[in-house]
Amino acid sequence: MNQTTHTLDARGLNCPLPILRTKKAIAALSSGEILEITASDPGSVKDLDSFCSQTGHEMVSSEEIEDGFFFRIRKA
């Protein structure tokens, strides 16, 4: 499986921008690739969980970090 990792810095963006940028970034990936997202909007936690549930992408990890939140999503 391809483990290429891409990054998206969504810090400083408020809802719905982090999820919109995530959708755009993940659309450009190949199946199995990982997108790492850093966000500061607390709403992004619920938004990205819902996004993965609705699209079938895998939330590999979701954690709170010093300056916000860090997510790893594997494209379905």
Q: Which of 13, 15, 17, 45 is catalytic?
A: 15
Is residue 52 annotated as a catalytic residue, yes or no? no
Distance of alpha carbon 63 from alpha carbon 37, whole angstroms: 11
Nearest CA-CA partner of 15 in 40, 53, 41, 38? 41
DSSP 16: T
Residues with a catalytic annotation lie at 15
